[in-house]
Structure 1
Amino acid sequence: MGITLNDSRIMTTAPLSFLTTTSSSPKQKNKLNQLWEEVGKKQRRIERYQAKLDDFYHDFKASTEKQERAVCRAAEKWIHHLLTFVPRKTIKGPQREALYDWIQEELSILESNPFNPVDSRVLREAFNQALLALPSNQAEDISITEGQIEAFREEISMMLGYELDVSDDELMAMVKDPQKFHDYLQSVVAEEMEEEHVEEDGIEWGGEDSFSQADDENHFEPSHYQASDALYSDKQITKLYRQLAKQLHPDKETDEKKKSEKSALMQQLSQAKKDKDVVALFILAQQHLPEHEMVMDEGMLERLKMTLTEKIEQLNMDYQELRHGGDIKSILWQRFGGGNKASRQKGLREYRAHLQKESQDLLAQCQEVKTVKQLQQRLKLRIEASRFNNPFFQIDPSELFS
Structure 2
Amino acid sequence: MIITLNALNVMTASSLSFLTTTSPSSKQKNKLNQLWGEVEKKQRCIERYQAKLDDFYHDFKASTEKQECAVCRATEKWIHHLLSFIPRKTIKGPQREALYDWIQDELTILESNPFNPVESTALREAFNQSLLALPSNKADVDVMTEDQIEALREEMFMMLGYEIDISCDELMAMMEEPQKFHDYLQSVMAEQKQEEHTAEDDIGWGAENFFSQTNGENYFEPSYHQANDTLYSDKEIIKLYFQLAKQLYLDKETGEDEKSEKSALMQQLSQAKKDKDVAALFILAQQHLPDHEMMMDEGILEPLTMALTEKIGQLNREYQELQHSNDLKSLIWQRFGGCNKAARQKGLREYRAHLQKESQDLLAQCQEIKTVKQIQQRLKQRMELSYFDNPYF
TM-score, scaled relative to structure 1:
0.75
**Alpha-carbon distance between aligned partners in 2 of 1:115 and 1:9, rounded to the nearest angstrom:** 45
Call closer, same or farther: CA 1:174–1:18 in 2, change over 3 Å.
Answer: farther
* 1:25 CA displacement: 1.6
- 1:13 is aligned to 2:9: yes
Equivalent residue, structure 1, for 2:300: 300
Equivalent residue, structure 2, for 1:121: 121
What is the percentage of aligned positions where both structures have the same residue? Answer: 68
Structure 1 runs (4+) deviating above 6 angstroms are: 5-10, 15-21, 171-181, 183-186, 204-207, 210-213, 218-222
Equivalent residue, structure 1, for 2:240: 240
Give the secondary-structure state (helix, strand or coil) at the position aligned to 2:85.
coil
Call closer, same or farther: CA 1:382–1:10 in 2, change over 3 Å.
Answer: closer
* 1:81 CA displacement: 0.5
Equivalent residue, structure 2, for 1:332: 332
The one-letter code matched in structure 2 to 1:114 is: P
Call closer, same or farther: CA 1:72–1:343 in 2, change over 3 Å.
Answer: same
**Alpha-carbon distance between aligned partners in 1 of 2:205 and 2:268, rounded to the nearest angstrom:** 29
Call closer, same or farther: CA 1:7–1:85 in 2, change over 3 Å.
Answer: closer
- 1:63 is aligned to 2:63: yes
Equivalent residue, structure 1, for 2:355: 355
After TM superposition, the structure 1 = structure 2 runs for residues 110-189 of structure 1, keeping only pairs within 5 Å, are 110-135=110-135, 136-137=137-138, 141=143, 143-144=145-146, 167=167, 169-170=169-170, 187=188
> Superposition RMSD on alpha carbons, in Å?
4.5
* 1:354 CA displacement: 1.0
Q: How big is each residue's C-alpha offset from its partner over 1:248-279, in whole Å with a ceiling of 9 and x where there is no partner?
A: 21323457765554344323212322333211
Call closer, same or farther: CA 1:338–1:255 in 2, change over 3 Å.
Answer: closer
The one-letter code matched in structure 2 to 1:240 is: L
**Quick check: 1:249–1:262 contact (8 Å CA) kept in 2?**
yes
**Quick check: 1:16–1:291 contact (8 Å CA) kept in 2?**
no
Equivalent residue, structure 2, for 1:109: 109
Equivalent residue, structure 2, for 1:378: 378
Equivalent residue, structure 2, for 1:284: 284
Call closer, same or farther: CA 1:259–1:84 in 2, change over 3 Å.
Answer: closer
Give the secondary-structure state (helix, strand or coil) at the position aligned to 1:294.
strand
Q: How big is each residue's C-alpha offset from its partner over 1:214-247, in whole Å with a ceiling of 9 and x where there is no partner?
A: xxxx99979xx62444433434322221121122
**Quick check: 1:336–1:348 contact (8 Å CA) kept in 2?**
yes
**Quick check: 1:6–1:29 contact (8 Å CA) kept in 2?**
no
* 1:291 CA displacement: 4.1
**Alpha-carbon distance between aligned partners in 1 of 2:323 and 2:21, rounded to the nearest angstrom:** 39
**Alpha-carbon distance between aligned partners in 1 of 2:362 and 2:297, rounded to the nearest angstrom:** 71
The one-letter code matched in structure 2 to 1:111 is: E
Flag structure 2 segments of 5+ consecutive residues without an equivalent. none
Call closer, same or farther: CA 1:260–1:104 in 2, change over 3 Å.
Answer: closer
- 1:194 is aligned to 2:195: yes
Equivalent residue, structure 1, for 2:78: 78
**Quick check: 2:5–2:286 contact (8 Å CA) kept in 1?**
no
Give the secondary-structure state (helix, strand or coil) at the position aligned to 2:296.
coil
Equivalent residue, structure 2, for 1:30: 30
Shifted more, 87-96 versus 193-202: the winner is: 193-202
Give the secondary-structure state (helix, strand or coil) at the position aligned to 1:386.
helix
**Alpha-carbon distance between aligned partners in 2 of 1:10 and 1:25, rounded to the nearest angstrom:** 21
**Quick check: 1:20–1:293 contact (8 Å CA) kept in 2?**
no
- 1:314 is aligned to 2:314: yes
**Quick check: 1:7–1:22 contact (8 Å CA) kept in 2?**
no
* 1:6 CA displacement: 8.4
**Alpha-carbon distance between aligned partners in 2 of 1:35 and 1:310, rounded to the nearest angstrom:** 10
After TM superposition, the structure 1 = structure 2 runs for residues 89-104 of structure 1, keeping only pairs within 5 Å, are 89-104=89-104
**Quick check: 1:17–1:290 contact (8 Å CA) kept in 2?**
no
* 1:339 CA displacement: 1.9
* 1:83 CA displacement: 1.0
**Quick check: 1:87–1:134 contact (8 Å CA) kept in 2?**
yes
Call closer, same or farther: CA 1:333–1:86 in 2, change over 3 Å.
Answer: same
The one-letter code matched in structure 2 to 1:127 is: F
Call closer, same or farther: CA 1:230–1:204 in 2, change over 3 Å.
Answer: farther
Call closer, same or farther: CA 1:107–1:270 in 2, change over 3 Å.
Answer: same
**Alpha-carbon distance between aligned partners in 1 of 2:289 and 2:373, rounded to the nearest angstrom:** 77
**Alpha-carbon distance between aligned partners in 2 of 1:202 and 1:43, rounded to the nearest angstrom:** 32
Q: How many residues align?
A: 368
TM-score, scaled relative to structure 2:
0.77
Give the secondary-structure state (helix, strand or coil) at the position aligned to 2:294.
coil
Equivalent residue, structure 2, for 1:398: none
**Quick check: 1:107–1:120 contact (8 Å CA) kept in 2?**
yes
Call closer, same or farther: CA 1:21–1:245 in 2, change over 3 Å.
Answer: farther
**Quick check: 1:250–1:263 contact (8 Å CA) kept in 2?**
yes
